[in-house]
Amino acid sequence: MCGVAAWLGDDAASAVYELLLELQHRGQEAAGIAFLANGGIRLVGGPGLVREAIRLPAAAARAWAAIGHVRYSTSGRYGGEQYQPVAGSKGLVHIAFNGNIVNYRELGRELLGRSYTWDAQLVADLVEALYLEQGSLADALREAAQLLRGAYSLVAITSRGELAAARDPYGVRPLAYAVGDGYAAVASETAALDSLGLPWREVGAGRMLYCNGSPKDCVETGLASGHEPRPCAFEYIYFLRPDSVFEGVEAHAARLEMGRRLARRDTVEADLVAPVPDSGRSAAIGYALERGLPYTEVLYRNRYAGRAFIAPPGERNGRLKRKFNPIRSTTWGRRIILVDDSVVRGDTSRWLARILRRSGAREIHLRVASPPVVMPCFLGIDTPSRGELVAHGRSGDEISRVLGVDSILYLGMRDLEEAVGRRLCLGCFGGAYPFPLDVARLEKVFTEDRR
Ligand code: SF4
């Protein structure tokens, strides 16, 4: 996952800071901003949330171009020691990107003569080397797109004041921009641009926004030959803010429909429908509306505890325990249909079943608004091996037992695609990745490089 932002125009560093605050849900391990002021690019950032990680120095007030990033690590080391944006080795190009490059080791060895353990550094060095050859950021990114294999939505600036925002040929991750009088703005999600009142457009799959030093000189142009977009299904299921639009589809609307479709396949009797807050809420509303059952909340979620799923492994359990507390007046003696957006490792569901039973729930029927996650992701989600997935190699009954719920029902892949109304990447559900991947080899690569 991760979130990226960029701004060209007055007060660029502060504007990127504001956009990153709106994208905080996409990454909570680290944050950073690179800004162009006084002819050079400066980088600030570190571990933690945007407000903890970024202290803008006085020079940032003169920044005319800036890019920024919130990190959810899916390559390189856990924790905030590594953060983006990343500088190329000569400091002429800085990039920030959301996604994963599956051939970064080979590209590093074969083209740059170095071994890499972090795909972001490879992308920065490669784009900078191509920039030195081509003399234009747009041409460097076009050339890089012929070499990079994976999912990426990236922003880049050069010390000459060029700014670009590019989306991979399959458009796996979201990216949007707004260009107006005196500014060009970019953000991973449309909701971030909405929050600043900017009229946005999405960057098309295999396309880029390129600005040659001024907002007046911005154009959306081709990056690589197009494919049918294959947006990540998980963006619609979990990552996107409900008020964001990706490939023309609002996340909340898609999630409501996922819940409705799940409900149509269900006959279990229950007293109420409740979401796992907050990401299961839209689907739970759709489910309850479809079945005409009472909808309520059975869990309080501490919104200052962060998103447990995207926390580094060592922090997940502690965060989970602090995050939820049952609401006893709605759990005691009730048969609960608990709707979650997804079940990946199973830690959250197992913990919730335990605390709901402790607070008197009579039955817990877990309804999951996505298919079982049975395969790893190498395109921007930190699930690099099959062994950590609770549904891998288990039947529905076995999963129910492991999670401690009375029953479980998942959404099917076809219903998921129909709910979104788009062809999706469904790789982690055992469907198709956008392009062929050597899963066994990549499990090794992405597990080895994580510490
Ligand atoms: S494999 Fe799953 S999580 Fe990864 S990009 Fe595809 S749908 Fe998204």
Helix (H), strand (E), coil (C) string for 319-343: HHHHHEEECHHHHCCCEEEEEECCC
Express each pLDDT in 171-185 by its tens digit.
Answer: 999 999 999 999 999
Q: Find the mean pLDDT for residues 322-327.
A: 90
Express each pLDDT in 399-444 by its tens digit.
Answer: 999 999 999 999 999 999 999 999 999 999 998 999 999 988 888 8
Comparing 117 with 206, the larger pLDDT belongs to 206
Q: Find the mean pLDDT for residues 375-384.
A: 85
Question: Degrees (nearest 5) of the Cα angle 230, 235, 237?
Answer: 115
Cβ atoms of 32 and 45 within 8 Å: the answer is yes
Q: What is the pLDDT of residue 317?
A: 67
Tokens coding 129: 């080397």
Q: Find the mean pLDDT for residues 196-225.
A: 97
- Residue type at 80? G
Express each pLDDT in 1-31 by its tens digit.
Answer: 799 999 999 999 999 999 999 999 999 999 9
Express each pLDDT in 281-312 by its tens digit.
Answer: 999 999 999 999 999 999 999 877 766 665 66
Tokens coding 268: 């279990």
CATH says 3-229 is which class? Answer: alpha beta
Tell whether ligand 1 has an atom less than 6 A from the beta carbon of residue 428.
yes
In 3D space, the residue among 259, 250, 124, 254 whose CA is nearest the CA of residue 189 turns out to be 250
Cβ atoms of 193 and 185 within 8 Å: the answer is yes
DSSP code of residue 295: B
Cβ atoms of 369 and 255 within 8 Å: the answer is yes
CATH topology of domain 253-422+439-448: Rossmann fold (3.40.50)
Q: What is the pLDDT of residue 66?
A: 98
Query: What percentage of the chain reaches a pLDDT higher than 70?
Result: 94
The residue extents of the domains of the chain are 3-229, 253-422+439-448
Residues belonging to the binding site for Mg(2+) are: 279, 340-341
Tell whether ligand 1 has an atom less than 6 A from the beta carbon of residue 389.
no
Smallest CA separation from ligand 1 atom 2, residue: 428
Tokens coding 364: 């817990």
Q: What is the pLDDT of residue 79?
A: 64
Express each pLDDT in 217-275 by its tens digit.
Answer: 999 999 998 788 999 999 999 999 999 999 999 999 999 999 999 999 999 999 999 99
Tell whether ligand 1 has an atom less than 6 A from the beta carbon of residue 102.
no
User: Cα separation of 57 and 64, whole Å?
Assistant: 14
Q: What angle do helix axes 347-358 and 313-323 make, rounded to 10 degrees?
A: 30
Residues belonging to the binding site for [4Fe-4S] cluster are: 232, 377, 425, 428
Distance of CA 28 to the CA centre of its chain: 11
Active site residue 2: yes
Q: Find the mean pLDDT for residues 59-76.
A: 89
Q: Please provide the distance, in angstroms rounded to a whole number, between the alpha carbons at the two ends of the chain.
A: 18
pLDDT band at 320 (very low <50, low <70, confident <90, very high): confident
Cβ atoms of 8 and 183 within 8 Å: the answer is yes
Q: What is the pLDDT of residue 81?
A: 72
- Collapsing DSSP to helix, strand or coil, 183 comes out as strand
